[in-house]
């Protein structure tokens, strides 16, 4: 899987996809949706779709695809390579959501929780398949949250498609299993080849599973927390595990409340459109974290 686009910029969102098989633009297709990396405190979350004609579903099942969590890494790579070989009838697409995107979404002024982010990403991939001309007739989705509510929302969004949302759909429907394999292969590769934008000395890449309850992951977090700047962007700093370590290991910061009401020295709105040199923007680090220069010490 070519993740060169993600490696060039792993701070936001990256979409990858296979060519659309011509048969998928001619015949009714079944499409599966699943994700990998929803729970870890480290690395991206990947959402994937996989689709094929209903007439070729038995051929997809013959590949012996299964829930990616039940397969070894080598088995997942073998099955993904097989799906690539069968590109004349199997297609896929995925969205890689960076830890930075996840954390800034969840901790922004307007909260955007992980469930909403997941729902919107899955919806976006389904719409992408339709926009590419795939004749989607049936969709199977591994649920996030209550399946009945999620299914109703998707059915309203895609009234011409038969939508089924189930818990453990990756173990029930082969097309969802195939999507889970695509997502897991992409996440594993992204984590393994992660390009740290921070210049870290003595970087240890043995961070365990990345899940919050993994002692090796917790040790890695404690070792790589900066007392001023916090964690590298590989870390989802919105996770409670990361926040707890920040509270213990990093320096305290007190934010003064912004003044309200009339303030002296406020500029008129027209002044922002006057001619003259534009103010210099702060460094990306401060923009991404919403940091501003202190005016009162």
* Residue 204 confidence (pLDDT): 83
Q: Is 95 annotated as a binding residue?
A: no
* Residue 207 confidence (pLDDT): 87
Q: Is 75 annotated as a binding residue?
A: no
Say if 230 falls within a structural domain. no
Does the predicted model carry a pTM greater than 0.75?
Answer: yes
Q: What CATH number does the domain containing 160 carry?
A: 3.30.420.10
Q: What is the pLDDT along the chain (297 residues), one digit of tens a residue?
A: 888 888 889 999 999 999 999 999 999 999 999 999 999 999 999 999 999 999 999 999 999 998 888 899 999 999 999 999 999 999 999 999 999 999 999 988 888 999 999 999 999 999 999 999 999 999 999 999 999 999 999 999 999 999 999 999 999 999 999 999 999 999 999 999 998 888 777 788 888 889 999 999 999 999 988 888 889 999 999 999 999 999 998 888 776 655 554 555 555 555 555 555 556 667 666 777 777 777 666
**Burial track 196-214 (b if 16+ CB lie within 10 A, e otherwise):** eeeeeeeeeeebeebebeb
Say if 181 falls within a structural domain. yes
Say if 287 falls within a structural domain. no
Round to whole Å and give the CA distance between 111 and 43: 21
Say if 86 falls within a structural domain. yes
* Residue 274 confidence (pLDDT): 52
CA contacts within 13 A on the Cβ side of 60: 29
Domain span at 99: 3-193
* Residue 143 confidence (pLDDT): 95
Q: Is 142 annotated as a binding residue?
A: yes
Structural domains in the chain (count): 1
Say if 76 falls within a structural domain. yes
Say if 218 falls within a structural domain. no
Say if 153 falls within a structural domain. yes
User: Which SS3 state, helix, strand or coil, does residue 42 take?
Assistant: strand
* Residue 170 confidence (pLDDT): 93
Say if 131 falls within a structural domain. yes
């Amino acid at each position: 899987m070519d993740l060169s686009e993600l490696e060039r910029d792993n701070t936001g969102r990256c979409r990858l996809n296979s060519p659309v098989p011509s048969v998928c633009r001619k015949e009714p297709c079944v499409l599966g949706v699943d994700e990998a990396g929803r729970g870890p405190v480290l690395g991206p979350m990947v959402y994937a779709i996989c689709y094929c004609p209903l007439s070729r579903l038995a051929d997809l099942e013959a590949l012996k695809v299964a829930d990616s969590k039940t397969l070894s890494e080598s088995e997942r790579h073998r099955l993904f390579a097989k799906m690539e070989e069968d590109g004349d009838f199997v297609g896929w697409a995925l969205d890689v959501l960076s830890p930075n995107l996840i954390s800034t979404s969840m901790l922004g002024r307007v909260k955007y929780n992980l469930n909403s982010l997941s729902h919107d990403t899955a919806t976006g991939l389904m719409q992408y398949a339709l926009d590419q001309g795939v004749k989607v007739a049936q969709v199977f989705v591994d649920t996030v949250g209550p399946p009945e509510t999620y299914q109703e929302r998707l059915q309203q969004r895609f009234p011409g498609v038969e939508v089924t949302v189930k818990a453990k759909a990756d173990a029930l429907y082969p097309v969802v299993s195939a999507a889970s394999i695509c997502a897991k292969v992409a996440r594993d590769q992204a984590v393994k080849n992660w390009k740290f934008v921070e210049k870290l000395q003595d970087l240890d890449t043995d961070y365990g599973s990345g899940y919050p309850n993994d002692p090796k992951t917790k040790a890695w977090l404690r070792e790589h927390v900066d007392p001023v700047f916090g964690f590298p962007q590989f870390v989802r700093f919105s996770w409670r595990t990361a926040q707890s370590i920040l509270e213990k290991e990093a320096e305290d910061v007190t934010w003064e409340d912004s003044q309200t009401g009339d303030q002296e020295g406020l500029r008129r709105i027209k002044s922002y459109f006057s001619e003259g040199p534009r103010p210099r923007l702060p460094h990306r680090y401060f923009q991404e974290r919403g940091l501003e220069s202190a005016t009162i010490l």
